Structure 1
Amino acid sequence: MISKLKSHSRVTEVDATCKLIIEAYNKEDLSADTYITSVFDHLKTKSKALSNAIRQDKVESELDALDTVRDELVKSAHYLLIGYVRNPNQTYATAATAVKKVYDKYGIKMINESYAVQSSLSESLSADMARPEMLVHINTLPGVGEAFTALGTAQSNFSTAELKYKEERSKFDEKESATSIKKEVCHIINNDVVFYIGAMAKSNKAVYGNLALTVDKIIDTNNTTVMSRRKTKVEA
């Protein structure tokens, strides 16, 4: 009897296991079996969709992380300027007041805007801070120039990642989440592949036996990893 794939396997685990099962199937000549051929055609389609969805999720996650970085730099510049405005050193206070007046046109509130709006505001802020009359004040304040340079770099990194994200979406544009597709893949493997191959291996071992053993081993390897992880969590 072939083991069933653990439904609480991670998305990436299901993706990897599915690919191995398809690879094992491709090594066998079961073209005469129209049922299993249709099952694996469906599984291959879902496997591709799952891989694409995982890629999209990964790029989106990277984008979120870069957005967090620029948000923190916006806040850092905000509080740095407030500190200088309140500084008893009049030179610092005067320069900071001039810089903050321009900064406040964009302000810390920009971090609550959409990606596109924040990018536009961030780029405009960087352009304003690069003006010669602003650099005079900025260069008077230790750390402020570095803060705005870091923000500009963070914005550039975000824009690059956002372009990559949009390119990925245009290529694949999966409507379902990776988690949703994972459930479908598990269902096909457990209810179609495992059930059918297991039954056919008993009645026609010569044709289906090798694939049944391979699929069982692939799934068992994954399940062992999953159970080991869950056991570790319980013990911890």
Structure 2
Amino acid sequence: MLKSLLNFFISDDNSNNSFYQVYQKLVKWKEGNVYPNSYDLPETISLPYDFWEKVKGLYRNTRNDKLERSVSVYWVDGDLILSSITTGSTSFVRSNSQIKVSYIPKNNEYFYKEIILDGKRYSRREVYFKKVPKQIDLHYLFNMHTHPPHLHNETTYYGFFSAQDIKSMISSGAIVTGLITDHFYLLFRTNKVDASVANLQDADLSSETITERYNYVLYKGALGKKLHRVLSHL
């Protein structure tokens, strides 16, 4: 699991649009308690194979049973933790993973760093005593969730981000959130987001309005392919 997480964030792609480089900026923005300028984000984003396999699995399961699913990503003292999959109703899902990190003495020089996720051991490794932090750094990075397909006049379609999705993103303070349908979306909040977004309705939302009216940066791509910025203005 941990190897898959690291592969998720550290792609073999060394180009200037690998997600690892976006992630490095994301950490700095979170540490500075700021949202990015739109020009700080690239035109395209590449994601690694292991990540796409997880996304495709979430997509297939949601397509089959029509239930939304959610996965959250956390930062825990230098480790990236992927939450358990949470399954919701046909129209709503909430992720509420519980994470605990402990440093357990092994001997005079080493501790065991143990991470517990939802009551089960997620990982355990040795840490040199000088590397044990005085204060545990545990914070939420972002959430990604699925939307099930809908059928209208024998045509299958998927919904876009809902007003509730955006409001949840605002209330959490997240910089980025993801949506899985038959495509994959990443939505970044910028420092120019219009305050009126808190009052929007589902009917107000489209790729055009979220980027042009509300000043978010949106990426879209086929599952397993490179993400391209939608209506970008660098």
The TM-score, its normalising length taken from structure 1, stands at: 0.21
Higher relative contact order (CA 8 A, sep 6+): 1
Larger helix fraction of residues:
1
The TM-score, its normalising length taken from structure 2, stands at: 0.21
Larger radius of gyration: 1
